[in-house]
């Protein structure tokens, strides 16, 4: 029997791409989303791409009753937990909303999981938990600190997961720390569809390229980097999606091992506990390098101006991807070229997103 996975936030940008990868890897999926930052159109497109209808529950993770009903109706092996609010600037003006949604929502989800004895979880964490890194590439043992409520909400959930694993060794909890997800499905049918003017670099560039926005502002050209602009570890969203499949396969192997060990001996084998893993490529690309790659791949001019640094930004951030390779057997395959090609395909076919 195929293992069934509850995908919270499965209608969103990373969730939709991961649902396709999970389906291709043989998992059954149930999407749970309140559609606060996504739409039914995205779910329909995923259904079309996989050639079958998707199970979708419209619900909020803070609504314990609706969540419980999902666990009554389905026997889940585990949960991939994408749902959350993610706009750094908005989190500064609406901290209670962010803590309520991202932290309280996760606590409600964990309580319901415990009630139904589903103790396998993959959580969407972020490289933001590393703050301004002391060394590069950033490995998972780097110190953690955050300066905005969004980042704090990710860090607090990590602490909660650590405490939960310490309190009860039957939990298997993986926190995947994403670096900078970009790109779109190669079909051009699903991709990132920001509600408003994009906060992030890649969707901003692609909206300039398609003529929706006039000009990119590059936040600072005086960083100690290759060309003075910020350096990030951009990772293709389909590689990221495969990282979730690898994490889930790993959880499944570990659970199988725990079961067979407990049958063979009276001693319990150890659970995964809390396991943080970076998902990045290990390579840094500057803002100007990305602008130039996108412009030559799309054949569009990307007008830009330099403005002052954005508050809270760091100079450089890229991952050590050794742990993902060693533990999960996963590494990113796609280059900046594919990231730009696929973003451009999505943006040019769907200039107004899913509308």
Binding site for ligand NAD (CB under 6 A): 8-9, 11-15, 33-38, 60-62, 82-86, 101, 105, 124, 126, 178, 181
Q: Is 86 in the site for ligand UFG (CB under 6 A)?
A: yes
Q: Is 297 in the site for ligand UFG (CB under 6 A)?
A: no
| Selected binder of ligand UFG within 128, 142, 281, 295 (CB under 6 A) | 128
- What are the start-end ranges of the H helices in 270-329? 287-298, 322-323
To 10 degrees, what angle do helices 201-209 and 336-349 make?
Answer: 50
Q: What is the DSSP string of 246-257?
A: HHHHHHHHHHHH
Task: Using the rule CB under 6 A, give the single segment among 111-119, 213-221, 258-266, 336-344 that binds ligand UFG.
Answer: 213-221
- Least Å distance, CB 251 to ligand UFG, is 23
The footprint of ligand UFG on residues 161-180 (CB under 6 A) is: 179-180
Give residue 51's region: left, alpha or beta (phi > 0; psi -120 to 50). Answer: left
Residue number with CB closer to ligand NAD (13 or 250): 13
Residue number with CB closer to ligand UFG (22 or 88): 88
- The interface partner of residue 60, options being ligand NAD, ligand UFG, none and the CB cut-off 5 to 8 Å by kind, is ligand NAD
CB 254 within 8 A of CB 119: no
- Least Å distance, CB 87 to ligand UFG, is 8
CA 94 to chain centre: 21
- The interface partner of residue 310, options being ligand UFG, ligand NAD, none and the CB cut-off 5 to 8 Å by kind, is ligand UFG
CB 125 within 8 A of CB 178: yes
- The interface partner of residue 13, options being ligand NAD, ligand UFG, none and the CB cut-off 5 to 8 Å by kind, is ligand NAD
Residue number with CB closer to ligand NAD (36 or 296): 36
Is 99 an annotated catalytic residue? Answer: no
Residue number with CB closer to ligand NAD (33 or 233): 33
- The interface partner of residue 91, options being ligand UFG, ligand NAD, none and the CB cut-off 5 to 8 Å by kind, is none
- Residue 209, H or E segment: helix 201-209
- With CB atoms as reference, the residue minimizing the distance to ligand NAD is 12
Bridge partner residues of 80 (DSSP): 7, 122
Block residue for tokens 């890229």: 318
C-alpha distances in angstroms, 215 versus 59, 93, 205, 209, 312?
38, 26, 8, 9, 22
Active-site position among 130, 150, 250, 304: 150
Closest to 339 (Cα-Cα) out of 154, 211, 179: 179
The footprint of ligand UFG on residues 219-278 (CB under 6 A) is: 219, 230, 232
Give residue 228's region: left, alpha or beta (phi > 0; psi -120 to 50). Answer: left
Give the contacts of 159 (CB within 8 A, at least 6 positions apart).
Answer: none
CA dist., res. 299 & res. 301, Å (int): 7
Side by side, the strands of the sheet bearing 120-126 are 55-58, 28-33, 4-8, 78-81, 120-126, 172-178, 273-279
Q: Is 204 in the site for ligand UFG (CB under 6 A)?
A: yes
| Selected binder of ligand UFG within 36, 48, 75, 217 (CB under 6 A) | 217
Residue number with CB closer to ligand UFG (46 or 129): 129
Q: Is 218 in the site for ligand UFG (CB under 6 A)?
A: yes
Q: Which residues bind ligand UFG (CB under 6 A)?
A: 86, 88, 126-128, 179-180, 199-201, 204, 216-219, 230, 232, 287, 310, 313, 317
Positions marked active-site: 150
């Amino acid at each position: 029997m195929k293992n069934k996975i509850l995908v919270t936030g499965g209608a969103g940008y990373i969730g939709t791409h991961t649902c396709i990868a999970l389906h291709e890897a043989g998992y059954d999926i149930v999407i749970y989303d309140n559609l606060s930052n996504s739409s039914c159109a995205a779910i329909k497109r995923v259904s079309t791409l996989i050639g079958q209808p998707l199970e979708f529950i419209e619900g909020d993770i803070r609504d314990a009753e609706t969540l419980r009903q999902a666990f009554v109706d389905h026997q889940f092996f585990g949960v991939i937990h994408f749902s959350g609010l993610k706009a750094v600037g908005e989190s500064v003006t609406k901290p209670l909303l962010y803590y309520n949604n991202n932290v309280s929502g996760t606590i409600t989800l964990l309580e319901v999981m415990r009630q139904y004895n589903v103790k396998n979880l993959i959580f969407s964490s972020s490289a933001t938990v590393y703050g301004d890194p002391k060394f590069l590439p950033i490995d998972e043992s780097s110190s953690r600190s955050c300066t905005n409520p969004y980042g704090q909400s990710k860090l607090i959930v990590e602490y909660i997961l650590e405490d939960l694993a310490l309190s009860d060794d039957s939990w298997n909890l993986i926190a995947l720390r994403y670096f900078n997800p970009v790109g779109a499905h190669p079909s051009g049918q699903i991709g990132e569809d920001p509600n408003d003017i994009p906060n992030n670099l890649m969707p901003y560039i692609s909206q300039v390229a398609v003529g929706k926005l006039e000009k990119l502002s590059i936040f600072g050209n005086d960083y100690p980097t290759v060309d003075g602009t910020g350096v990030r570890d951009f990772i293709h969203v389909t590689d990221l999606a495969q990282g979730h499949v690898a994490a889930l396969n790993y959880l499944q192997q570990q659970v199988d091992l725990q079961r067979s060990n407990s049958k063979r001996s009276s001693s319990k084998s150890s659970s995964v506990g809390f396991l943080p893993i970076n998902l990045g490529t290990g390579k840094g690309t500057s803002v100007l390098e990305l602008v130039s790659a996108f412009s030559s791949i799309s054949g569009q001019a990307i007008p830009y101006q330099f403005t002052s640094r954005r508050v809270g930004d760091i100079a450089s951030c890229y991952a050590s991807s050794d742990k993902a390779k060693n533990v999960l057997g996963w590494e990113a395959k796609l280059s900046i070229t594919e990231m730009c090609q696929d973003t451009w395909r999505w943006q040019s076919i769907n200039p107004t997103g899913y509308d």
